[in-house]
Amino acid sequence: MKSTITCIHCNKDYHIWANPKDLNAWSEGGLIQEVLHYLSEGERELLLSGTCDLCWDNLYGEKDE
């Protein structure tokens, strides 16, 4: 299922593809990194906080790799 998420900082739309059963498992308390393990860190963060990668980097600095 494709979900469109809008970054709360830059108002840009992002499309995330996720299994509806996995999204439901997350909404029922599953750990996002376990039930949506196939999404990137940036996609999971967008779901959690509504912040895209670019805005995250601008707000908090780039992630350590």
| Mean pLDDT across 20-34 | 97
Interatomic CA distance for residues 6 and 15, integer angstroms: 9
Residue 65 pLDDT > 60: no
Global pTM reads 0.86
Other Cβ atoms closer than 10 A to 11: 8
> 3-state class of 2 per DSSP?
strand
What are the CB-based long-range contacts (under 8 Å, 24+) for 52-61? Answer: 52/7, 52/9, 52/10, 52/12, 52/14, 54/10, 55/7, 55/9, 55/10, 58/9, 59/9
| Mean pLDDT across 31-45 | 97
